[in-house]
């Protein structure tokens, strides 16, 4: 496991849930002092090394953004694949083949790879990522095995649950509805679905 500057990590998605990022920052702050380093290692950012040895995040974008927003300069990373020998075109094809890139904006529109932000700070907010994450943490469904599964839940909730207004009240109501619909039969084909059983 290595440490890399957060400023050089390349996102493989356009959006994150900033409310969930804030929660991750609060969780991190609870591990101040001697507990911080082991905690960060337990949540190391998963990266793939691409051409020029550039590190591309393939999991834990929310932790990366939370630590960036807290002002940390670097973070532990786990290299899950070394593809730096590939040329850019083959590298992009391999990333797509492995489900390691998700170039969708907050409206669910597929964008070009060139529209991915170049830094963690460039990722924009999609509140449905936060709704999906909080609903999962509340036990509405199991964590999918891949980042792609999380996007499936975000897209599903985006199509079913309106966020009527701004502020914590509107978000809280949408979260309650998200938990309910995630456990309904309407979500039965989604990864991690548990329905109304005990899971």
- In this predicted structure, what is the pLDDT of residue 199? 44
Radius of gyration of the chain (CA): 17
Distance CA 19, CA 35 (A): 24
Convert the pLDDT of each residue in 9-24 to its tens digit.
Answer: 999 999 999 999 999 9
149 pLDDT exceeds 60? yes
119 pLDDT exceeds 90? yes
109 pLDDT exceeds 70? yes
- In this predicted structure, what is the pLDDT of residue 167? 84
- For the chain, the average pLDDT equals 93
> Between residues 159 and 147, which one has the greater pLDDT?
159
74 pLDDT exceeds 60? yes
Give the β-pairing of 15-16 and 124-125. Answer: parallel
The confidence band for 197, taking pLDDT boundaries of 50, 70 and 90, is low
If you average pLDDT over residues 86-102, what whole number do you get? 93
If you average pLDDT over residues 41-50, what whole number do you get? 97
If you average pLDDT over residues 29-41, what whole number do you get? 95
For the chain, which domains are there?
A: 2-125 (3.90.1530.10), 127-187 (1.10.8.10)
Closest CA to 39 of 17, 81, 10, 70: 70
CB neighbour class for 170 (10 Å; exposed up to 12, middle 13-18, buried from 19) = middle
Sign of CA dihedral 94, 97, 102, 108: positive
The confidence band for 165, taking pLDDT boundaries of 50, 70 and 90, is confident
Residue 85: both structure tokens together: 């020998």
- In this predicted structure, what is the pLDDT of residue 196? 81
The confidence band for 97, taking pLDDT boundaries of 50, 70 and 90, is very high
State how far the alpha carbon of 65 is from the alpha carbons of 24, 46, 59, 61, 181, in Å.
9, 13, 12, 6, 28
Q: What is the pTM of this model?
A: 0.91
């Amino acid at each position: 496991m290595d440490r890399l500057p957060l400023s050089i990590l390349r996102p493989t998605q356009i959006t994150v849930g900033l409310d969930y990022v804030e929660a991750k920052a609060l969780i991190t702050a609870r591990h101040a002092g001697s507990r911080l380093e082991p905690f960060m290692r337990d949540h190391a950012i998963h990266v793939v090394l691409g051409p020029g040895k550039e590190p591309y995040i393939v999991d834990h974008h929310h932790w990366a953004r939370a630590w960036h927003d807290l002002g940390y300069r670097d973070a532990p990373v786990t290299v899950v694949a070394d593809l730096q020998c590939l040329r850019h075109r083959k590298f992009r094809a391999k990333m797509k083949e492995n489900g390691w890139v998700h170039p969708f904006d907050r409206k669910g529109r597929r964008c070009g790879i060139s529209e991915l932000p170049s830094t963690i700070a460039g990722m924009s907010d999609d509140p449905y990522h936060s709704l999906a994450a909080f609903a999962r943490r509340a036990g509405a469904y199991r964590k999918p095995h891949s980042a792609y599964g999380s996007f499936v839940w975000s897209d599903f909730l985006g199509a079913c649950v309106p966020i009527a207004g701004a502020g914590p009240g509107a978000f809280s109501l949408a979260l309650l509805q998200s938990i309910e619909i995630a456990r309904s039969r309407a979500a039965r084909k989604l990864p991690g679905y548990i329905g109304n059983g005990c899971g």
